[in-house]
Amino acid sequence: MNDTPLAESTRIVLTGVRNAGKSSLMNNLFEKNAAIVSDTPGTTTDPVTRKIELGKMGPCAVTDTAGFDDEGDLGQQRIGKTRNRLKTADLILFVTPGDKPVVQEEREILKELQGGTRPWIGIISFGDRELHDEKADFFPTGEFIRLDNSRSGSARPLIELMEKKAAKVNREMTPVEGLVKEQDLVLLVTPIDLAAPAGRLIMPQVETIRDLLDRDCAALILKERELYSFYRNLGIKPSLVITDSQAFHKVAADIPEDQPLTSFSLLFARKKGNPAYFIESLKALRDFPEKGRVLVMESCSHHRQADDLGTVKIPRLFKQLVGSRVEFGHSRTMPEHPEEWDMIIHCAGCMITQKAMLGKLETFREKGIPVLNYGLFLAWANGLLPRALEPFPELAALYEE
């Protein structure tokens, strides 16, 4: 609980061909053996991620990947995983061995990086060896650095260059960004039920509390059973009430109608995904196919309880309000054939990055598949729209349209 979540860390991905020195670079950055180093090609198979604080960049997640010239069926699968990591990277470190000629795979990597939008840095490794003529002018001026990863402390110039590049990283907004101001009082209604993790709060609740403290706000945290009496004894009106989506109905009943109210899941719909797309997708509920298919997606692994939200509560509400003959599926990974589904209902996505979530949403949008997130669906199901969107005026206006 003291660590910054991976999803909130700057994602740095190392890429290059096999034996380019990626793992040695990772060890140099960490100043310890964080990755296995070997002269045998293909030592790194699956991506390896380690967390680190890197100077002014703050918390980072550094990922070592398999070589882009990997071979065979397994090699192609490893390259596929490398490409997936590159799609969600905030900063890419392209590593090439300085003592070897340029290979075709490296030319292709460079072309992709130059044609993309993500910041990247070229790394010419094995700086203790003679530089090959082809590598001397391989990278554009100012876009690379030469390193001897066998020498302790040699990564310092690279970290300084990374800090400059980090200014171009598009960071996610924080949970309550633009919603509160200094000295505001915010009520956080956090049910403690069978689905709640033992001895701790869930990630969206923790991040919201920290964000409120960073903004010099007061956070009053209580369960839904205590809300009615505490609210009436406060003496001041809270600026905002935030609750778990599952408690929407009870919380709304226990506070005045003019009290601004939303959910953790809707905060994260704005933070992680595309809330306008979610709101647009509500229209699909009006004329949903009688025997339509709905895929409920989650981005993390957890032990499902008897009254689980994704596998029990949402399907039950959907069948009661939309259609009793609708078929439901459940997945923690992207479906192989998204077009087989008539709607996606996704969790808040608190354990993945915004880039990863937006990548999923783009796939569904291209295929014309409507997508809701847990919070928006439950707000709709409990008759709390547009009220739950009122703290976000632009989203409330979109809903009214």
* Confidence at residue 280, expressed as pLDDT on a 0 to 100 scale: 95
CA–CA separation, 74 and 97 (whole Å): 24
Model confidence at 1, in pLDDT bands (50, 70, 90)? very low
Stretch (H or E) spanning 373:
strand 371-373
Phi, psi of 101 (to 5 degrees): -70, 160
- The pLDDT, as a whole number, for residue 3 is 58
The per-residue pLDDT for 385 is 93
Letter string b/e over residues 249-270, b meaning 16 or more CB atoms within 10 A of that residue's CB: bbbbebbeeebbbbbbbbbbbb
| pLDDT exceeds cutoff 60 at 158 | yes
Ordered by where they begin, the domains of the chain are 6-166 (3.40.50.300), 185-268 (3.40.50.11420), 274-381 (3.40.50.11410)
pLDDT score recorded for residue 318: 96
User: Does the structure show a pLDDT above 80 at 198?
Assistant: no
List phi, psi (to 5°) of 294. -120, 130
Mean predicted confidence (pLDDT) in 146-173: 84
**Average confidence score pLDDT of the chain:** 88
Q: What pLDDT is attached to residue 401?
A: 86
- Distance CA(375)–CA(349), nearest Å, equals 11
pLDDT at 304: 60
With a cut of 80, say whether residue 195 has pLDDT above it: no
- In whole angstroms, how far apart are CA 340 and each of 290, 291, 293, 351? 15, 12, 8, 26
Q: What is the pLDDT of residues 209-239, one digit of tens each?
A: 999 999 999 999 999 999 999 999 999 999 9
Lowest mean pLDDT, pick from 54-68, 159-173, 175-189, 334-348 = 159-173
Mean pLDDT of the region 273-295: 94
Least confident of 94-103, 266-275, 350-359: 350-359
